[in-house]
Structure 1
């Protein structure tokens, strides 16, 4: 990855970094896989314990200064459902953004996925030799932090959502409100 960036400083602007995350109605955040980067640390603590908490599972990507999605996932996501999402939803959104901003995306888009079960789809379809993940042409660096939506979660939970519809709208509004400066820091 470092060699690619050294040879092409704009390389990262052509990568669609993707991640899926769960947003809980009660504000609970799974911190086991998150790295926090913030200009301020509000020391906020939210306690929530429930065997079946109300939640929204979301997939989103960052490509240059653009959000791809968000896409809401109902239930548990299996390999076939993810492949269908890639083909029917994710790839068309990536193409739409690239075509709408041809001055920004002069090179082929690279698709990043950390461990998703679709290397054959990437290799055989749209991202031949242009994807980052396990067993890919560009390996996802070991122990690197995921593209965590920490900033987005701080926006969504700045005031507690009232219900699942409100939570969904806060996620959409949070994605739309991300500034160019925030993309740069990410």
Structure 2
């Protein structure tokens, strides 16, 4: 049984619903230390840890990520309150993971409700922070984005959306 099948079976006794059409399931990030990665994704960003499991020696993870057979893999699925298993972390032990060098070819974009306290917590971990960017979009939305690199060098881009206050008209 695959990790996904075990997770589905553990969450429900009924068979999973099959959705037709296009569906983005989740990004899966390879990490060197799962507990250290969970400091960011669970403790700071607020993802809920749903499942942790050891990958079998014939796991598809070895094939798709081109990991050597000596790698010991542990898979973790994390959810938000609205998205089941929205992101996955796969710990790869017994293998040296090369650094992720720029230019970055992928970034994981995550909406948060309040960016500032999250960035403060990320800064406390001495991780590389990218300066913020703000812009407006009709009708009156203000977006603020700010990126950082996690412990494994993955580019994570956080954003928050606020409604701009209408300008006050002068009264006489």
Alignment TM-score, normalising by the size of structure 1:
0.22
* Larger strand proportion of the pair: 2
* Larger helix proportion of the pair: 1
Alignment TM-score, normalising by the size of structure 2:
0.24
